[in-house]
Amino acid sequence: MDETHREQMARAAAALLPRSNAIADAITDELLATEEASYGSAGDEVRADLRASIRAHIRDGILMLADQPEARRKAVDLWRETGQRRARQGVPLAVVLHSYTLGTRLLWDALVESGQTLGVDPAALLSTGQTLWSDLDTQSQIVRERYRREELALHDQDAARVEEVLSALLQGRGSDPEFAAEARRVLGLGADSELLCLVWLPRQQLSSPSLASERLLNAGYTSCWWMHGEHAVGIASGSPDDWGRLREVMARSVRGRVGTATCRDGLTGVVAAYHHALTAATTLSPSSDGVADIVDHLPEAIVAGSPELASLLVEETIAPVLHLTGATRQALLETLGAAVRHGGSASGAAEALVCHRNTVLYRMKRIEGLTGYSFDVPRDRLMLTLAWLAIRRGEALEPERSTP
CATH number at residue 328: 1.10.10.2840
The residue segments making up the domain with residue 175 are 160-301
- What is the tens place of the pLDDT at every residue in 28-85? 998 888 887 777 666 778 888 889 999 999 998 888 888 887 777 788 888 889 988 8
Q: Residue 397 gets which letter from DSSP? A: P
Q: Residue 173 gets which letter from DSSP? A: G
What is the domain count for the chain? 3
User: What does the pLDDT read at residue 55?
Assistant: 92
Phi, psi (deg, nearest 5) at residue 279: -65, -40
User: What residue type is 190 in one-letter code?
Assistant: G
Boundary of a domain, candidates 156, 179, 209: 156
CATH code (residue 74)? 1.10.490.10
CATH code (residue 169)? 3.30.70
Identify whether 196 is part of a domain. Answer: yes
Looking at the fold, whether 11 and 129 belong to one and the same domain comes out as yes
Identify whether 403 is part of a domain. Answer: no
Looking at the fold, whether 141 and 164 belong to one and the same domain comes out as no
Boundary of a domain, candidates 285, 301, 317: 301
Phi, psi (deg, nearest 5) at residue 202: -75, 155
Identify whether 402 is part of a domain. Answer: no
Looking at the fold, whether 369 and 264 belong to one and the same domain comes out as no
Strands 194-202 and 231-238: antiparallel
Identify whether 398 is part of a domain. Answer: no
Looking at the fold, whether 177 and 284 belong to one and the same domain comes out as yes
User: What does the pLDDT read at residue 42?
Assistant: 64
Distance of alpha carbon 259 from alpha carbon 290, whole angstroms: 9
Looking at the fold, whether 338 and 387 belong to one and the same domain comes out as yes
Angle between helices 93-117 and 3-14 (to 10 degrees): 110
- What is the tens place of the pLDDT at every residue in 324-342? 989 999 999 999 999 999 9
User: What does the pLDDT read at residue 377?
Assistant: 92
Looking at the fold, whether 177 and 257 belong to one and the same domain comes out as yes
Looking at the fold, whether 170 and 35 belong to one and the same domain comes out as no
Q: Is the dihedral of CA 373, 374, 378, 381 positive or negative?
A: positive
Boundary of a domain, candidates 284, 301, 318: 301
Looking at the fold, whether 321 and 377 belong to one and the same domain comes out as yes
Identify whether 404 is part of a domain. Answer: no
Cβ atoms < 10 Å from Cβ of 275: 17
CA 208 to chain centroid, in Å, comes to 21
Distance of alpha carbon 49 from alpha carbon 151, whole angstroms: 19
Q: Which of 11, 7, 51 is nearest to 30 (CA)?
A: 51
User: What does the pLDDT read at residue 240?
Assistant: 86
| Total residue length of the chain | 404
Looking at the fold, whether 351 and 363 belong to one and the same domain comes out as yes
Give mean pLDDT in consecutive 10-residue pieces for the chain, a chain of 404 residues: 78 89 92 78 78 91 83 84 86 88 90 88 85 86 86 69 87 89 81 87 84 83 86 88 91 93 90 92 87 88 79 89 91 93 92 93 94 92 89 52 33
Indicate the burial class of 187 (C-beta count within 10 angstroms; 0-12, 13-18, 19 or more): buried
User: At 193, is the secondary structure helix, strand, or coil?
Assistant: coil
Identify whether 278 is part of a domain. Answer: yes
Please tell me the pTM assigned to this model. 0.53
User: What does the pLDDT read at residue 23?
Assistant: 92
Looking at the fold, whether 46 and 94 belong to one and the same domain comes out as yes
Identify whether 252 is part of a domain. Answer: yes
Looking at the fold, whether 343 and 295 belong to one and the same domain comes out as no
Looking at the fold, whether 44 and 20 belong to one and the same domain comes out as yes
User: What does the pLDDT read at residue 324?
Assistant: 92
Cβ atoms < 10 Å from Cβ of 227: 15
Identify whether 291 is part of a domain. Answer: yes
